[in-house]
Amino acid sequence: MIIHCCKSNHPIILIALRFLFISILLVSCSTFGQIEATMIQKKEPCAEPIPTVFDRVSPAVVFIIAKSINPYLVSDRVESTLGSGFIVDQSGIILTNSHVVFGRPWIAVTLDDGTSLPAQLLGADPVFDLAVIKIPVPSGRNLPTAALGDSSFLRVGEDVMAIGNPLGLNQTLTRGIVSAINRIIPINPFSPPRPLIQTDTPINPGNSGGPLVNRCGEVIGINTAAIASAENIGFSIPINLAKALLPSLLEYGRVIRPWIGFQGQLIDSDLQELLTIPLVEGFLVEVVEPESPAEQAGLLGGQFEFAIDGASFLIGGDIITSINGIRLDSPDKVADVEETLKIGSTAKLTVYREGKYQKVEYDILERPVLPWDILIGYGSLIAPIERDGPSVAP
């Protein structure tokens, strides 16, 4: 069981093969826009003393309490969650996890010095479990900010530290190493996977949304998950992913992404030779998302599952041979198709079904927040502390 708080030789190719158009789910942003969080260019590995790193970063780490009312209960109707976050801009912008604050109308933040302030949710993305909140700047003072690093330079074995509020224990530091990078954890067939940082740094309920910091004192991840049945197997969202999504969260309050509506993997000539069932080269549709444009257009997913050398396949569904005139016979072609699928455009598919080729068309819509993003996704897995009733942790 994973609670909310494989490195591959070719991770990008494998993700493209397994899940179509995952890169579409990321918003391409190269700058922070209005965010002025300190960006330190990566240099030679740092080895600053841990107390020095803590003294520098911890003032920017905050304690978050979020509450909501469950109208379907007759008692204990106030539900509270406790988590962590960190200030990235002196205007009061704070990064945290979506599962800590999304859907919670009342949010309060406690600063390092004990000051408690109300917070406003500016934007959230349950798919990648990221959220941005804002607090008012106390009169006559400057808010400390955390420096954001570059997670693309992370190496397995690198020292890292988590700072947060595990079990409500304010400003707690734990340490460990980077155990793996590009760790993909599929939660359910309907939510896209994301590459996570795996660490043996202890991450507990209440650490959710807090920073994972390197020995340079830079935030390189946002703590988001831990496996309850294991010892010190935790996960963090790479900070580069957060930086890419932050402008969209600030401008629109959400991440705008096209809704393709199906998932699957490529079928190549080697797999065709291995199997004795009728297949053609193309993209095997394994899952069609309920109520999606793909489902409404009549696209069919798989029904029979089997595994070959550790790889799982769900067969019996449609095989898409081309989209918008581009044949789907390689990862490069998948990338080419991505450029054609924009919100408001039309997807024109050639589909192989039951030995015949068919044409399927549907308009690309904006992907909404889907029920499984919240109920089954990462947000339900690394648990912030959840309390029924108005009580909170110290």
User: Which are the catalytic amino acids?
Assistant: 99, 129, 208
Q: For residue 257, give both structure tokens.
A: 């992404």
The Cα-based distances of 37 to 91, 243, 311 in angstroms read 10, 10, 42
The Cα-based distances of 83 to 62, 94, 174, 366 in angstroms read 9, 12, 16, 30
Q: What is the DSSP string of 155-216?
A: -TT-EEEEEE-GGG-TTEEEEEEEEEEEEE----TTS---EEEEE-S---TT-TTPEEEETT
Q: Tell the burial category of 251 from Cβ atoms under 10 Å away from its Cβ (0-12, 13-18, 19+).
A: middle
Q: For residue 1, give both structure tokens.
A: 């069981």
Alpha-carbon gap, residue 138 to 115, rounded angstroms: 9
**Cβ within 8 Å of residue 181, ≥6 positions away:** 7, 154, 155, 156, 195, 197, 198
Task: Note whether 219 and 147 are within 8 A (CB).
Answer: yes
How many other C-beta atoms lie within 10 A of the C-beta of residue 338? 19
> Residue 125: beta bridge partners?
130
> Residue 180: beta bridge partners?
198
Which amino acid is it at 47? A
3-state secondary structure of 83: strand
- Minimal CA–CA distance to 382: which of 3, 116, 20? 3
Q: Tell the burial category of 184 from Cβ atoms under 10 Å away from its Cβ (0-12, 13-18, 19+).
A: middle
Alpha-carbon gap, residue 183 to 185, rounded angstroms: 6
